[in-house]
Amino acid sequence: MSSNIVYTNAQDWQSEVLGSHLPVIVDFYSEECSPCAALAPIFEKLAEKYSNQMKFVKILRQQNRELALSLNVKSSPTVLFFNQGQEVGDRFNGYIRKPDLRQALENVLNITPDDVTLEKVKADVLILGGGPAGLSAAIYAARARLKTIIVDEGVPGGQAATTWEIANYPGTAGTISGKELMDNMLTQAKSFGTQVDDLKEVSRVELKGDLKVITTEDTEYAAPVLIIATGSESRRLPVDGEADFRGMGIHYCATCDGANYQDAKVIVVGGGNSAVEEAVFLTKFASHVTIVHQFDNFQASKTAQEQALHNPKIDVVWDSEPRAILGDKELTGIRVENIKTGEFKDIAANGVFVYIGMQTRTNLFEGQIKTNQWGYVEVDEELKTNIPGVYAAGDIRSKQIRQVVTAASDGAIAGINAERYFMLQEN
């Protein structure tokens, strides 16, 4: 638990919140709550920075229901602001983005952009992204005694950290959880001196010039070498209303949100490895899983297919694509169309997990760096981009195979070549 956060209850509400001489931010959270777990590191990060100006309080909603209901708090997490005993500012609930929460906090404190002075930080090597590629690059660069800083918009680990288990990473005992593997990489990178600045809000990246610059909400980083390892993100379900139900019925990570669907019916959209493997994982919680796939066969590995097709909790709707989300305030299912017959079918479900491919995260580099027609960064065999001193590693770059082990190997190559480039500039 962070020393910057006060954990309280209904009995101490008056003294801790309403009687506080500082403005207060309150997080009503629950146990076994995926959005609550996602908010926790954000809340801690903000507390580290603003605890001398604002009091950070957390209350377990499950044990303080009467207080929560008296404040019309009916879901977890719900974040409220108080000043001089009165609620002020905006409320937040569900999956909460750090930029939105930070902006609301600064509004309560009357902090404007003009009040923020960017801290200037210099490094030998900057790495944008803390997934397996970024962490591996950091291990090699930092071990070469270069001042290495990872700047990550999320928490270290990337997509790999949300994978329930990884069975094909060399050197592990058969299987290992994605989080454990990424934690091991993070610990190793830090052991060589890597500085990891996570949950940063990157607003601008300048690649041209002798120094590459990353600008965030409070820091300007500069280094002669930059390794881009921002990875990719899940492609969104192309159906109206997806954004309204995201995190509240529509999900992209079974490991993160599957436990919310104990004894419920869920749908998995997709037919590749991620879709089929996560469908099997979801049977640990859900009473039934329906896989909706646009083709008449899976593209997943034979092992994954066998596990899914022989699982009595799983059935498959072939040759079909989602066309509509059913439900008003709560998702009740989806409508699918058979793309061969044109027939529509409604499938009842409490949640939908989507695995229809990935999309690049290259918007920060548009107009500066060469990408292919799908938006992936083009590099040579040394992972150099078209800009001297800039390398790209992992899922962000153009390549055929995207696995944790290939991302890690990319990171090693980029880290070694980044060191060589740096030494040439120094000499």
Report the distance separating Cα 277 and Cα 119, nearest Å: 44
SS3 302: helix
Band (pLDDT 50/70/90 cuts) for residue 164 is confident
pLDDT digits (tens, 9 = 90+) for 274-316: 899 999 999 999 999 999 999 999 999 999 999 999 999 999 9
Q: DSSP readout, 181-244?
A: HHHHHHHHHHHTT-EEE-S----EEE-SSSSEEEE-SSEEEEESEEEE---EEEPPP-STTHHH
| Least confident window among 18-22, 195-199, 349-353, 356-360 | 356-360
Choosing from 257, 263, 380, 395, the catalytic residue is: 257
Cβ neighbors of 114 (< 8 A, separation 6 or more) are none
Fold matches, 119-233+358-426 and 242-354 = yes
Report the distance separating Cα 393 and Cα 399, nearest Å: 10
Torsion of CA 345, 346, 349, 354, to 10 degrees: 50
**pTM (predicted TM-score):** 0.83
The pLDDT, as a whole number, for residue 293 is 97
Q: What is the mean pLDDT of the chain?
A: 93
The pLDDT, as a whole number, for residue 324 is 95
Cβ atoms 215, 205 nearer than 8 A: yes
Residue 257 appears among annotated catalytic residues = yes
CA distances from 96 to 27, 90, 93, 103, 262 (A): 11, 12, 6, 12, 23
| Least confident window among 11-15, 22-26, 37-41, 144-148 | 37-41
Superfamily of domain 242-354: FAD/NAD(P)-binding domain (3.50.50.60)
For tokens 């899940």, the residue is 234
Torsion of CA 245, 34, 351, 163, to 10 degrees: 110
Choosing from 27, 33, 36, 253, the catalytic residue is: 253
- Domain borders along the chain are 5-115, 119-233+358-426, 242-354
Q: Is the pLDDT of residue 12 over 80?
A: yes
CATH T-level assignment (fold) for domain 119-233+358-426: FAD/NAD(P)-binding domain (3.50.50)
Report the distance separating Cα 400 and Cα 413, nearest Å: 17
Helix (H) or strand (E) holding 34: helix 34-50
pLDDT digits (tens, 9 = 90+) for 234-270: 889 999 888 888 877 898 888 778 888 999 999 999 9
Report the distance separating Cα 65 and Cα 352, nearest Å: 29
- The size of the chain, in residues, is 427
Report the distance separating Cα 348 and Cα 202, nearest Å: 40
The DSSP symbol for 60 reads E
Report the distance separating Cα 285 and Cα 281, nearest Å: 8
Cβ atoms 244, 238 nearer than 8 A: no
The pLDDT, as a whole number, for residue 67 is 96
What average pLDDT does range 144-164 have in this prediction? Answer: 91
The pLDDT, as a whole number, for residue 127 is 98
Choosing from 33, 152, 256, 395, the catalytic residue is: 256
pLDDT digits (tens, 9 = 90+) for 32-54: 787 888 899 999 999 999 999 99
Band (pLDDT 50/70/90 cuts) for residue 1 is low
- Residue 77, preceding peptide bond in cis (omega within 30° of 0): yes
Residue 256 appears among annotated catalytic residues = yes
pLDDT digits (tens, 9 = 90+) for 320-371: 999 999 998 789 999 999 999 999 999 999 999 999 988 887 888 988 999 9
pLDDT digits (tens, 9 = 90+) for 369-391: 999 988 899 999 999 999 999 99
What average pLDDT does range 28-34 have in this prediction? Answer: 86
CATH of 5-115, picked from 3.40.50.300, 3.30.70.20, 3.30.450.20, 3.40.30.10, is: 3.40.30.10
